[in-house]
Amino acid sequence: MQQTFEAWITPLMIGGLIIFMCFIIWDLAKKSNAGKFGTIMLFVVLGAGMLGYVIKVVITWLIEGGGI
């Protein structure tokens, strides 16, 4: 029962954390009056870590036999 719960809740919580971090980046851009280019750069630079994590999860899933 606990393993099933952990298997379902972990991706949901990490997804929620990623959405919250996107909100934080957006709020930072808004409060600093970054403009369009500055906002894009904030999302690219600060979002690169989140993107790297998502890519790692997808590659791991593919290697473990869930995909290719």
pLDDT at position 24, please? 95
Residuewise pLDDT in 10s, the chain (68 residues): 888 888 889 889 998 999 999 999 999 999 999 999 999 999 999 989 888 988 998 898 899 886 66
Burial of 47 (0-12, 13-18, 19+ CB in 10 A): middle
